[in-house]
A and B are shown apart, each in its own frame.
Chain A
Amino acid sequence: MKKATLYLLVISLLLGSSLSVYAQQVNLTLWHIHTNEGAAQYTIQDAIRRFEADYPNVKIEEVQIINDEYKTKLMIAMGANDEPDIFMSWGGGPLETYINAGKVWDMTDALNNEGIYDNFLPVALDLGVVNGRVYGVPIVNMASALVWYRTDIFERFGLEVPTTYSELLDVMEVFNKNNITPFALANANKWTGSMYFMYLVDRVAGPEEFYNAMMRVNGGSFASEGFIKAGEYLQDLVRKGAFPRGFQSMDEDLAQSRNLLYTERAAMYLMGSWAYGTIKAENDSMLEHLDFFVFPGIDGGKGDPSNLVGTPGDNYFSIAQKSAHKEYAAKFLGYLSDDTAAQMLIDNGHIPPFGSNIGERISDPMMQKIYGAVSGSDTVQLWYDQSLPPELAQVHLDTTQALFGLEMTPEEAAKTMEEAAKRYHNEK
């Protein structure tokens, strides 16, 4: 009798414990694009480690997907109802597509309950907010496109940093005469060349030009004078030999652009401020010759020369509507945006879009300079390909690449873009 009770007790204990473990074991999948070592990857992996230590029953499976393939993979996963619990986007247009398809969880209340809503800088959080509700939180970097340059090459030819567009053309001429490519550009990726176009549109016609065309307000059009003129400026740069041989087929992800910079074959490099961290990791001996300036203003143009093109948060992390463990995912986002994460980003050359007193916590002089440019600018134009819905973003990238290849006239490119926008918005 006694033995039987004992057995029963042992069995029930065993069953009970295994059942409870089974019930609590939680698996979360996380997708992001940081395949290379660096600030973002370190920070994400560190947050996972700290989170898993505090919640031993939760296991986060981290999946890294290369940048150019990421959007496609995510879209296919969503189409098959197989999306990960936590995923990143770049906010703006693409995120809205996912939201409209009912794929993204409204995490406003969860963020408030967990007390992490106030972690984020409002200006950065904006891109993850639709109709006043939060669907994505900014994690990685306040990034802007800046003109990086080699100070030693500028000194060799006694050149000053150009402050106007015509000065920039003069500088280019000197480089071309001395067999140095003015700008290192790898344009197979298309978004790289898009940076030049975005700056030219802003400098020629001001930030409203794109806003009006995108939102279809105030008679805005992608075929407007401003876009055509920007296209003309762009093709003028190409004709003047601003870019390296073969730039249309070169791949930014393979560092083909930066290799020209490292080997002193190119002098300047228009790229997001993350380039500082990348160069630091790839070739830190170049840092002593590295500096940046903001894309110069065009004489007679409408855009303020301090306007920047970039993103206030870079990556926006969202939680899938179909995830079975949204509350854990939300708790994890707290770890991804706490002070430890912010410090880790700063230490590795990023400016976190969350946390307090960021400006004071940055000690690296170059990063202070970047922070100064970013916080001192009134207008930061979000990348076109992240503002626009994916279908139009792709048309923008394709037509811009065709402009670079001199295969379309600025008028044709502008017309193609406007027609696509009309078709998208069902306008006649």
Chain B
Amino acid sequence: MKKLEQLPWYRRENFVISLFLIPAAFFFVLYIVAPIPISFYYSLFRWDGIGQKIFIGFQNWSELMRDPVFFRALKNNFILVVVSIIVQLPFGIGLALLLNGGRWWTKPLKTIYVLPYLMSSVAIGMLWRYVYEPTFGLVNMFLEAIGKYHWIQDWLGDPKIVLYSVINAINWQFIPFYMILFMAAMTAIPEELYEAAKIDGASPWKSFWTITIPLLMPTITNAATLSLVGSLKYFDLIHVLSGGGPSHASELLATYMYKRSFHHFRMGYGSTIAVALFTIGVVVSSIFMRSARRKEYEGSAL
């Protein structure tokens, strides 16, 4: 009986909630949702951004399908996804393990290791640019000093290695983030489990594999998803460090989209790449999340 009386209240609460959501929803629609169909609309035009738009149908799309740079960028994106997940996550877990204890040296190290994540991408880009400088840079100067002349490389200029040089810097930037994530998850694991394992005679290695990793699994899945989505739309460090070059060797979809739109002033084609990037991102991450969730479910059933 009482429930029926409360129904108008319930309704009103919903109304209030939606009222408060309006500002956020408005900007979300304006800046996130609306640009997707609008970008698709622009992809049907030849347009330099300030002049007249000329309708050309699906010409941009057929050009995209024949554009080797687009596929190169796509490949680079997937390399970035794979390398990020297999490097950043294990390093994050390793550092978190190392610094999880309360010894006197962990606190200062924690602070130091978090620093890269606190710096802006542009600053990191400039920093690594000087590290990789071919003649006066830190790496090559060091190799010269220890006499390893044949190890000296053109880190950002050689198309065969530039992508990995940049990914190295990206890893450096993001490992601290995953370290924090895993450290937080590790403190949530009850100490009793480890004590019980110790009493049963398990080695630290054994308890790592049978306690820490299984209990970290949800965090690992989340971290992998974050890394996947972040890598697919990654832009800033590449833009500052190599600009996607030389000759598109380190091009990503996002930098390629930016170049076509704002260097070549082909807004139509840039929009085409943007819509393609969005579609690929949605498809890949939803496949990944679905399979990861299934794994998680199976894991908890065990």
Q: Which residues of A are interface residues toward B (Cβ below 8 A)?
A: 71-72, 75-76, 78-79, 97-98, 100-101, 103, 187-188, 244-251, 254, 256, 259-260, 265, 390-391, 394-395, 398, 401-402, 404-405, 407-408
Contacts and interface: CB of A to CB of B under 8 A. Distances in A.
Interface in B145-161: 152, 154-157, 159
Contact of A249 (B246, B259, B266): B246
A393 B132 CA distance: 29
Nearest to A398: B247
A244 B51 contact: no
A79 B135 CA distance: 41
Nearest to A399: B247
A391 B51 CA distance: 13
A395 B246 CA distance: 14
Given A72-B263, A245-B154, A401 B134 contact: no
Contacts of A248: 154, 156-157, 245-246
B50 A244 contact: no
Interface residues of B, number: 29
A187 B48 CA distance: 26
Contacts of A407: 159, 246-247, 249
Nearest to B132: A249
B247 A246 contact: no
B292 to A, nearest CB: 37
A401 B247 contact: yes
A78 B86 CA distance: 44
A402 B247 contact: yes
Contact of A247 (B157, B159, B243): B157
Given A246-B157, A249-B154, A391-B266, A76 B49 contact: yes
Contact of B48 (A244, A391, A395): A391
A21 to B, nearest CB: 36
B157 A260 contact: no
Contacts of A71: 263
Nearest to B250: A249
Contacts of A260: 135
B134 A250 contact: yes
Contact of B134 (A72, A101, A246): A246
Interface centre among A245, A251, A404 (most CB of B within 10 A): A245
A107 B145 CA distance: 61
B133 interface: yes
B12 interface: no
Contacts of A188: 242-243, 245-246
Contacts of B152: 245
A98 B246 CA distance: 29
A330 to B, nearest CB: 23
Interface string B122-138: 00000001001111100
B247 A249 contact: no
B15 interface: no
B155 A75 contact: no
B91 interface: no
B61 interface: no
7 contacts: A100-B51, A246-B154, A248-B157, A250-B133, A251-B129, A401-B246, A407-B246
B264 A394 contact: yes
B278 interface: no
Contacts of B266: 391
A405 B129 contact: no
Given A246-B155, A246-B156, A247-B157, 16 more contacts: A72-B263, A75-B49, A75-B265, A79-B49, A100-B51, A187-B246, A188-B242, A188-B243, A246-B134, A246-B135, A248-B154, A248-B157, A249-B154, A390-B265, A401-B246, A408-B247
B162 interface: yes
B135 A244 contact: yes
Nearest to B156: A249
B28 interface: no
A404 B133 CA distance: 18
Contacts of B10: none
Contacts of B162: 249
Nearest to B49: A79
B242 A249 contact: yes
A80 B108 CA distance: 48
Nearest to A259: B136
A97 B51 contact: yes
B262 interface: yes
A247 B157 CA distance: 7
The 5 closest A-B pairs by CB, nearest first: A246-B134, A249-B156, A249-B157, A248-B157, A246-B154
Nearest to A97: B48
B50 A75 contact: yes
Contacts of B50: 75, 78-79, 97-98, 101, 103
